[in-house]
């Protein structure tokens, strides 16, 4: 489990800045548009995963072999990374909602 977590961190590191950037943009969109338009930050966040996959494919697809040689498929690592990232995004959205509108 520890090894898998470390590999997920290694996999996430080069794409972290894209995810963090889009999370920031999504939170901003959420603050600007309110709860009624929750679909806007959600779609923006989901779009970021397409950007991440495209970025990795064009700039560091060769490093996929490192993760395969560690015994994991790239698809399974993407799924884990995106699930964790989206969970963090939801926590931030809920936190923002409580701070701005329920406080």
Partner 1 sequence: MEALNLKVDSVHLEFDGRKILQDIYLNCSKGEVLGILGRNGCGKSSLLKIIFGTLACTHKYVSINDDYIVKGYHNNRIAYLPQHNYLPGTIRIDRLAKMLVDEVYWADFSSHPIYQQHQLKMAPQLSGGELRQLETLMIIYSKADFILLDEPFTHISPIQAEEFKHIIRNCAKTKGIVITDHQYYNVLDVSDRIILISNGSTKPIHQPADLIAYGYVNHIN
Total site size for partner 1, rule CB under 8 A: 18
Establish if 63 lies at the interface with partner 1 (CB under 8 A): yes
Establish if 33 lies at the interface with partner 1 (CB under 8 A): no
Establish if 66 lies at the interface with partner 1 (CB under 8 A): yes
The CA dihedral of 9, 11, 92, 37, to the nearest 10 degrees, is -170
Within 10 angstroms of residue 40's Cβ, the number of other Cβ atoms is: 15
Token code pair at residue 42: 């959600």
For residue 81, the minimal CB distance to partner 1 (Å) is 14
Within 10 angstroms of residue 41's Cβ, the number of other Cβ atoms is: 24
Whether the Cβ atoms of residue 28 and residue 93 lie closer than 8 Å to each other? no
Token code pair at residue 95: 């936190």
Establish if 58 lies at the interface with partner 1 (CB under 8 A): no
Binding residue for partner 1 (CB under 8 A) from 73, 88, 95, 100? Answer: 73
Establish if 57 lies at the interface with partner 1 (CB under 8 A): no
Whether the Cβ atoms of residue 11 and residue 77 lie closer than 8 Å to each other? yes
The window from 18-26, 41-49, 70-78, 86-94 that contacts partner 1 (CB under 8 A) reads: 70-78
Chain residues in the site for partner 1 (CB under 8 A): 3, 6-7, 10, 13-14, 60, 62-66, 68-73
């Amino acid at each position: 489990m520890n090894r898998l977590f470390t590999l997920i961190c290694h996999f996430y590191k080069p794409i972290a800045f894209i995810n963090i950037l889009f999370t920031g943009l999504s939170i901003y969109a959420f603050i600007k548009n309110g709860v009624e338009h929750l679909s806007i930050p959600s779609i923006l966040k989901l779009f970021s995963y397409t950007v991440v996959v495209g970025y990795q494919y064009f700039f560091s697809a060769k490093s996929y072999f490192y993760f395969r040689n560690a015994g994991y498929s790239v698809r399974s690592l993407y799924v884990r990374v995106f699930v964790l990232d989206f969970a963090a995004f939801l926590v931030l959205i809920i936190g923002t909602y409580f701070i701005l509108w329920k406080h």
